[in-house]
Amino acid sequence: MFETVVAVVIGLAAGGLAGLFGIGGGIVMIPAMTLVLGFSQKKAQGTSLAAMLLPIGLPALMNYWREQTVDLRVAALIVAGFLVGSFFSSRVALSLPEVALRRSFAILLLLVAVQLWFKK
C-alpha cells in the first residue's frame, strides 16, 4: 500500500512539474524512487523511462499545441537524435557500477540547478 501511494504521489509531482516547467519527469521521479522507495539507481531510471513513455508528453503537448507554441520540425529532429542517443546511452548506463551512475546523476542535477539559479 505504501509503495502504491508513493508511486501515485511521485507521478502527480512529476506530471505537474512537467506541465508547469516543461521538464522531464525523471528529474523528480528518479530521486524519489531511490530515496523513498529504496530503488537502485538503475531500477529507478528504468522505471522512470517506462512511466514516461506516453503520459508525460501528450497531455501537456495538447495545451501547448492550442497556444501554438510547438515547433514540430524541431521536435522531430530532437526525436531522431533522442532515439539514437537513448539507445546507446542506456547501454552505457547499464554497464556502469551503481555508485558511479548515481553520482553522475547527482552531478547532472547540481549542474542544472546552478545553471538555472544564475541564468538571467
Ordered by start, the domain boundaries in the chain are 2-118
Rounded Cα–Cα distance for residues 94 and 33 (Å): 17
Q: Is the pLDDT of residue 38 over 90?
A: yes
Average pLDDT over residues 16-35: 82
Whole-angstrom CA distances from 98 to 22, 61, 102 are 28, 34, 6
Quote the cell numbers at residue 44. 529507478
pLDDT band at 66 (very low <50, low <70, confident <90, very high): very high
pLDDT band at 43 (very low <50, low <70, confident <90, very high): very high
Quote the cell numbers at residue 85. 542517443
Q: Is the pLDDT of residue 56 over 70?
A: no
State the SS3 of 44-96: HHHHHHHHCCCCCCHHHHHHHHHCCCCCHHHHHHHHHHHHHHHHHHHHHHHHC
Residue 75 or 22, more confident: 75
Average pLDDT over residues 55-62: 78
- Would you state the pLDDT for residue 117? 92
* Total-model pTM: 0.70
CA 44 to centroid of chain Cα atoms: 10
User: Mean pLDDT, the chain, as a whole number?
Assistant: 87
Residue-wise pLDDT tens digits, 87-113: 898 899 899 999 999 999 899 889 988
Q: Decide if 29 contacts 14 (C-beta within 8 A).
A: yes
